[in-house]
A and B are shown apart, each in its own frame.
Chain A
Amino acid sequence: AQKVTQAQTEISVVEKEDVTLDCVYETRDTTYYLFWYKQPPSGELVFLIRRNSFDEQNEISGRYSWNFQKSTSSFNFTITASQVVDSAVYFCALSEGRNQGGKLIFGQGTELSVKP
């Protein structure tokens, strides 16, 4: 069965601290896609990154970085030098197979609070 687990419900840090959001997934498919989305108070889900199951390269985008490890079924997200504007709920999501399209399975989300 497919499942995404974000064990951290809430994280609170002080500005400029580094913070890592954990994501563990379960799937039987060999082809799958992993995503991270950010949801600010306005409610819209903002796309951050997509990674397919054949690409285990880590990725860095500015202050954001992602660590994908198939051996541990994890896709963790790190924010370096956090800022108050990073405060939001972050969701990790899984899509299985080439034809599952928009059926994203979301984790429960991690609420990040960055205090000045």
Chain B
Amino acid sequence: KAGVTQTPRYLIKTRGQQVTLSCSPISGHRSVSWYQQTPGQGLQFLFEYFSETQRNKGNFPGRFSGRQFSNSRSEMNVSTLELGDSALYLCASSLESPGQGNYGYTFGSGTRLTVV
């Protein structure tokens, strides 16, 4: 059974550019969430999607956006990149259905974004 797949693994972008990261969840998982990990702020929740709808959103500026497709694959986009956006971006998927509790999330290996 394939795990959570994130592409690309590494990315270097220039300030002001935009970037799109991709996440393919485990087959059958409909919930996908995104996290940003930096040495200073640690692991911070970005947003979560369930059945193509954003269910939760963290405290990030509007430059950070995401979406989920009908096959549960998800993308996140960061526009007008800043140096501070350099981070490891982790995606996680779960079998969870709303109201059914939290069965735990399986994380991908992440995309390491460097903004120069």
Q: Does B76 contact A (CB under 8 A)?
A: no
Residues of B within 8 A of A99 (CB): 55, 98-99
Chain B residue contacts of A37, Cβ below 8 A: 107
Q: Are B96 and A101 in contact (CB under 8 A)?
A: yes
CA of A102 to CA of B90 in the docked complex: distance in angstroms? 12
Give A91 to B56 CA distance when docked, in angstroms. Answer: 21
Number of interface residues of A (CB under 8 A): 26
B32: which of A52, A95, A102 is its contact (CB, 8 Å)? A102
Residues of A within 8 A of B35 (CB): 104, 106
Nearest B residue (CB) for A50? B104
Q: Indicate whether A28 reaches chain B with its CB closer than 8 angstroms.
A: no
Residue of B43, B58, B98, B110 near A101 (CB, 8 A) is B98
B109 touches A103 (CB 8 A): no
Interface range for B: 20 to 34
**Residue A47 contacts which of B31, B32, B99, B105 (CB distance < 8 angstroms)?**
B105
Contact A101 B104 (CB under 8 A): no
Q: B114: CB under 8 A from chain A?
A: no
Give the shortest distance, in Å, between B14 (CB) and chain A (any CB).
23
A45 at the interface (CB under 8 A from B): yes
**Does B48 contact A103, Cβ atoms closer than 8 Å?**
yes
| Interface 0/1 of B29-63, CB less than 8 Å to A | 00111010000001111001010000110100000
Chain A window 54-97, contacts with chain B (Cβ cutoff 8 Å), 1 for yes, 0 for no: 00000000000000000000000000000000000001010100
Please name all residues of chain B whose beta carbon is closer than 8 Å to the beta carbon of A116 when the two chains form the complex. Answer: none
Q: Decide: A101 and B94 in contact? CB cutoff 8 A.
A: yes
CB pair A101–B31 under 8 Å, yes or no, is yes
Residues of B in contact with A (beta carbons under 8 Å apart):
31-33, 35, 42-45, 48, 50, 55-56, 58, 88, 90, 92, 94, 96, 98-110, 112
Q: Which residues from chain A sit less than 8 Å from chain B, CB to CB?
A: 33, 35, 37, 42-47, 50, 52, 91, 93, 95, 98-109
